Chains A and B, each alone.
Chain A
């Protein structure tokens, strides 16, 4: 399948189609960010700024402990909030958490729920537009990474990736770096498999 890179302002359809990262003007739908366009006019963005949605699973770090709850860094302009009354676990400053977005209001304030504390590890940033590629079809890529590196990995929709301290961190960082650089190309799973076998 042939893909070409298109810039913002490229007309991809006549009339209005409901696709993220596009906008409508003069009876046509136009791209709003850089992305790839294939033969069937499917637009896949290459680079986007993360916008939180209800139901997204996110990874964050506890920034502030308050009486009413915890403030969590989510790689967003504003931190997310975990109300104390909704969670049974107690968290400490600097804890890594894995949670679901319960609500987002119109100015982007995020409330979190279903909180899990993550054990010791490392959090790295990953471009949010490439998160689907890091997870892979039916979690194939992430399962392969977990298996070969011998430890847990968690990926949040917000672009934070948590790696357990028990896994082979240098190898994982290298693999994730390749996924980041070649996310829009085909044959990526094979290349990562070859890297991890060595």
Chain B
């Protein structure tokens, strides 16, 4: 983590002018893919992510089916034009495999899969544009898409990254803060019981710093949950004739 030659905090403000505990602008839309059982689109600062959920449907390959519960499958993919130059190819990579796995594990915990034996539930996440924090935005969008698909879940989940740059604790790290900062810790938290569903960490943090960050992340997740609820309410309130506007 080479944080020495990049000044990430100037006069208590970040590179994009945010305060340390301020999140980027977030917009969520539900039901953007008519053909999918459930879908969501999220615009989180410079991140643009579309997510579609299909199922429960026949498990393919059949030997992957579990007679006790539904198999949850997740595919995270970054588009070749998604702007982060090191991810300039589509298709599976070490990074996208890792993200698919961690996002799948979040939802394996939350989906009540015992209701649909021998089936699979597919979550497809496509990153159209990236600016740091795509895994947290993906979890937030996928939760909305799953609710939109009517798949029973124990709880709502949202995720936000926290970290440290220039010895200041930050919430919702951007690309530069993620790459050149001192530490990065994305956290996914379920809404009603505040359980941590995903925690990854890069760099070093003290015990006290982690405790402080958890408080900040909890606040951020509450804000995100309101936005998720608002997106779903808008979807169910709008009539058939009012189409979603990009």
Residues of A within 8 A of B154 (CB): 8-9, 23, 25, 30, 32
- Cα distance A123–B156 when bound, in Å? 34
Q: Determine if A129 is an interface residue (Cβ-Cβ < 8 Å).
A: yes
- Contact between B153 and A177 (Cβ–Cβ < 8 Å)? no
- Cα distance A129–B150 when bound, in Å? 9
Count of A-B contacts judged by CB separation below 8 Å: 102
- Contact between A7 and B229 (Cβ–Cβ < 8 Å)? yes
Among B6-14, B177-185, B201-209, B231-239, the stretch that binds chain A is B231-239
Q: Determine if A10 is an interface residue (Cβ-Cβ < 8 Å).
A: yes
Residues of A within 8 A of B153 (CB): 8-9, 32-33
- Name the prevailing secondary structure of the B interface residues: loop
CB contact between A49 and one of B116, B192, B238, B241 (< 8 Å): that residue: B116
Residues of A within 8 A of B190 (CB): 9
Residues of B within 8 A of A108 (CB): 116-119
Q: Determine if A95 is an interface residue (Cβ-Cβ < 8 Å).
A: no
Q: Determine if B89 is an interface residue (Cβ-Cβ < 8 Å).
A: no
Which size bracket describes the interface of B in this complex?
35 or more
Given contacts A32-B112, A34-B236, A49-B56, contact A78 B118 (CB under 8 A): yes
Residues of A within 8 A of B67 (CB): 106-107
Q: Determine if B151 is an interface residue (Cβ-Cβ < 8 Å).
A: yes
**Number of chain A residues close to chain B: CB under 8 A:** 33
B residues 213-237 in Cβ contact with A at 8 Å: 225, 228-229, 232-233, 236
Q: Determine if A65 is an interface residue (Cβ-Cβ < 8 Å).
A: no
- Cα distance A7–B155 when bound, in Å? 8
Q: Determine if A182 is an interface residue (Cβ-Cβ < 8 Å).
A: yes
Nearest chain B CB to A103 CB, angstrom units? 15
B residues 67-117 in Cβ contact with A at 8 Å: 67, 112, 115-117
Residues of A within 8 A of B37 (CB): 49
Q: Determine if A21 is an interface residue (Cβ-Cβ < 8 Å).
A: yes
A residues 44-69 in Cβ contact with B at 8 Å: 45-49, 51
- Contact between A47 and B150 (Cβ–Cβ < 8 Å)? yes
- Contact between A7 and B232 (Cβ–Cβ < 8 Å)? yes
CB contact between A107 and one of B117, B150, B151 (< 8 Å): that residue: B117
What 9 pairs between A and B have smallest CB-CB spacing? A181-B240, A9-B155, A47-B150, A32-B152, A9-B192, A8-B153, A77-B119, A48-B150, A107-B117
Q: Apart from A7-B191, A46-B236, what are 14 other A-B pairs with CB-CB below 8 Å?
A: A7-B232, A8-B147, A8-B155, A8-B156, A9-B191, A30-B192, A33-B151, A47-B149, A49-B150, A49-B151, A51-B115, A77-B57, A180-B240, A181-B239
